[in-house]
C-alpha cells in the first residue's frame, strides 16, 4: 500500500536536512513516508548530494592551525561551507575542530589520508557528507597544509578566517608567533629569494623590462634597472627581506638574528578563506 507524500512532508524533510526538494521527495517515497528512515536514506546518499552541489562555491568556512604536543609538526586546514551563517555556527566550528584534532592525532599528511581517518567509528569523509545532508550546504576539506620542523608555531587570525604555520630551526615560542603574524599580515611568497621559482623571477624580470621600455628609457639601461626592480620585488615578497611589522627599522631576518644567531625559518604555510 503506497503512502501519499504531501508537499508539507517534503518541506519538513527539506527544512530538517537541507537536502533538495526532489531528493526529499525520493527519500520519502523510498522509505514509504517514514520520516526517520528518509533522513537515513538521505545520509546514505551523501556522496550523491555532494556531487549535485559540486558547482556551488564554498567561499566561507573555518580555518584552523594546530601543532602536535611536541611542536615538531603542524597542520593548517580549511573546512569550507557556503555561508557565513554556517561558518559562525558554534556546532560547525566544533565539527571543524574535531576534524583538525583527528588530523593531528593521526599524523595525517594529506586530505586523502584525513578523509579515511575514523572519528568515533565513522570516516571523516562520511561525517562531512552527513553534515552536508544535515545543513544543505556544500562542505569540504578545501585546503590542507603541513609543516615539519624542529619547532612549529601556529597562529589563527580573524575568527578562524586565516591560519599560519611557521617552521623554525629551534624552539622560540614568541618569535614563532611574531613571524606567523608577519606572514598573516604581509602574505610573502616564499621564505627568501632562493625559495622563489626561476619561472616567477623570469616573469617579474620580463615585466620590469617592458615597464622600463614603456617609460621611454634606452633598451641598454633596461637590464640594469630591472635588477633594481627585482630587488624591490624580493624585499616586498620574501619573508626574511620584508620589514618586520613590529619594527620597520629592521627586516624579519634581522629580527630573528636578534633573537638567536642560529634561529632560522625553514618553511611556512598560510591558508585563508576566499
- Give me the residue spans of the domains in the chain: 7-44, 55-148
Which DSSP string do the residues of 53-88 spell out, in sequence order?
TTTS---EEEEEEEE-TTSSEEEEEEEEES-HHHHT
The model's pLDDT over 133-184, given as tens digits with 9 standing for 90+, comes to 888 888 999 999 999 999 999 999 988 999 999 999 999 999 999 999 999 9
The residue whose grid cell reads 602574505 is 187
Q: Given this model, what pLDDT does residue 50 score? A: 41
Q: What is the pLDDT of residue 45?
A: 59
125-132 average pLDDT score? 92
Tally of residues, the chain? 274
- Which residue in the block uniquely carries the three cell numbers 633598451? 219
Q: Which residue has the higher pLDDT, 135 or 267?
A: 267
Q: Which of 161, 153, 147 is nearest to 103 (CA)?
A: 147
Provide mean pLDDT across the span 100-126. Answer: 95
The total of other beta-carbon atoms located within 10 Å of residue 12's CB is 15
Lowest-pLDDT range of 137-146, 189-198, 202-211, 261-270: 202-211
What does DSSP say about strands 118-119 and 73-81: parallel, antiparallel, or unpaired? unpaired
Q: Residue 49 — pLDDT band, cuts 50, 70, 90?
A: very low
Percent of the chain with pLDDT strictly greater than 70: 93
Mean pLDDT of 244-254: 95
Label residue 55 by pLDDT band (50, 70, 90). Answer: very low
Q: Could you tell me if 60 and 92 are in contact, meaning their C-beta atoms sit under 8 angstroms apart?
A: no
What is the architecture of the domain spanning 55-148? 2-Layer Sandwich (3.30)
Q: Which residues pair with 190 in a beta bridge?
A: 238
The CATH topology of domain 7-44 is: Helicase, Ruva Protein; domain 3 (1.10.8)
Lowest mean pLDDT: which of 38-47, 52-61, 98-107, 132-141?
Answer: 52-61
Please check the confidence at residue 66 and state whether its pLDDT lies above 90.
yes
Mean residue pLDDT of the chain comes to 88
Per-residue model confidence (pLDDT) at position 85: 92
95 and 79 in contact (C-beta within 8 Å)?
yes
pTM of the model: 0.74
Give just the sign of the alpha carbon dihedral 54, 92, 60, 76.
negative
Amino acid at each position: 500500500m503506497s503512502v501519499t507524500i504531501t508537499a508539507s512532508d517534503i518541506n519538513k524533510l527539506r527544512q530538517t536536512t537541507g537536502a533538495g526538494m526532489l531528493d526529499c521527495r525520493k527519500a520519502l517515497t523510498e522509505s514509504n513516508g517514514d520520516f526517520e528512515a528518509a533522513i537515513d536514506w538521505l545520509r546514505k546518499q551523501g556522496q550523491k548530494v555532494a556531487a549535485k552541489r559540486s558547482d556551488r562555491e564554498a567561499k566561507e568556512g573555518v580555518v584552523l592551525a594546530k601543532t602536535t604536543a611536541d611542536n615538531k609538526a603542524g597542520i593548517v586546514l580549511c573546512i569550507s561551507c557556503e555561508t557565513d551563517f554556517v561558518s559562525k555556527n558554534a556546532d560547525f566550528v566544533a565539527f571543524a575542530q574535531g576534524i583538525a584534532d583527528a588530523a593531528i592525532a593521526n599524523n595525517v599528511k594529506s586530505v586523502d589520508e584525513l578523509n579515511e581517518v575514523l572519528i568515533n567509528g565513522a570516516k571523516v569523509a562520511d561525517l562531512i557528507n552527513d553534515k552536508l545532508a544535515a545543513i544543505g550546504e556544500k562542505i569540504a576539506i578545501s585546503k590542507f597544509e603541513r609543516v615539519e620542523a624542529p619547532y612549529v608555531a601556529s597562529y589563527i587570525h580573524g575568527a578562524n578566517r586565516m591560519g599560519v604555520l611557521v617552521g623554525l630551526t629551534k624552539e622560540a615560542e614568541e618569535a614563532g608567533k611574531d613571524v606567523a603574524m608577519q606572514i598573516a599580515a604581509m602574505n610573502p611568497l616564499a621564505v627568501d629569494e632562493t625559495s622563489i621559482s626561476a619561472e616567477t623571477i623570469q616573469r617579474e624580470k620580463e615585466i620590469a623590462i617592458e615597464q622600463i621600455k614603456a617609460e621611454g628609457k634606452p633598451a641598454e639601461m633596461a637590464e640594469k634597472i630591472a635588477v633594481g626592480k627585482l630587488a624591490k620585488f624580493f624585499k616586498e615578497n620574501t619573508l626574511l627581506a620584508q620589514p618586520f611589522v613590529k619594527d620597520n627599522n629592521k627586516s624579519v631576518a634581522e629580527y630573528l638574528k636578534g633573537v638567536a644567531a642560529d634561529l632560522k625559518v625553514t618553511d611556512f604555510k598560510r591558508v585563508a578563506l576566499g
